[in-house]
Amino acid sequence: MTENTEGPFGPRRYRAWNEHVKTRYGGRVQKVSIEAGFTCPNRDGKLATGGCTFCNNDGFTPGYLNRRQSITEQINAGLDFLLRRYPGTDRYIAYFQSYSNTYGELAHLRALYEEALAHPKISGLAIGTRPDCLPDAVLDYLAELARGHIIELEIGVESCNDAVLASVNRGHDFAASVDAIGRAAARGLEVTAHLLLGLPGESMDSMLDGARQMSALPVHALKLHQLQLVRGTAMARAWQRDPSSVPLLDEPACIAMLADFIERLSPAILLQRVGSEVPPSMKLAPAWNVRLSELAPRISTELARRGSWQGSRYMATGSTSTGAKPPPSVLKLVV
Helical segments of 172-250, H only: 174-186, 204-215, 234-241
Band (pLDDT 50/70/90 cuts) for residue 57 is confident
Q: Is the pLDDT of residue 321 over 50?
A: no
In the chain, the percentage of residues whose pLDDT exceeds 90 is 79
The domain containing residue 66 runs over which residues?
7-306
283-285 and 229-230 beta bridge pairing:
antiparallel
Residue 79 maps to a domain: yes
pLDDT of amino acid 297: 95
- Taking a C-beta distance cutoff of 8 angstroms, is the pair 117, 145 a contact? yes
Residues in the chain: 335
Q: Which pLDDT value is given to residue 316?
A: 61
Report the CATH number at residue 173.
Answer: 3.80.30.30
pLDDT digits (tens, 9 = 90+) for 2-32: 444 677 899 999 999 999 999 999 988 999 9
**Entry pTM:** 0.91
In a domain, 318, yes or no: no
Other Cβ atoms within 10 Å of 322 Cβ, number: 8
Q: Is residue 243 included in any domain, yes or no?
A: yes
Q: Is residue 97 part of a domain?
A: yes
pLDDT at 138: 98
- Asked whether 193 and 155 are in contact (CB, 8 A), the reply is yes
Mean pLDDT of 295-307: 96
Q: Is the pLDDT of residue 326 over 60?
A: no
Query: Above 90 in pLDDT, residue 322?
Result: no
Q: Is residue 326 part of a domain?
A: no
Rounded to an integer, the average pLDDT of 102-118 is 98
Q: What's the pLDDT score for residue 60?
A: 64
pLDDT higher than 90, residue 318: no
| Overall number of domains in the chain | 1
CB count, 10 Å around CB of 95?
22
pLDDT tens, residue by residue, 176-214: 999 999 999 999 999 999 999 999 999 999 999 999 999
Whether residue 322 is contained in a domain is answered as no
Model confidence at 95: pLDDT above 90: yes
Say if 314 falls within a structural domain: no
260 is a domain residue: yes
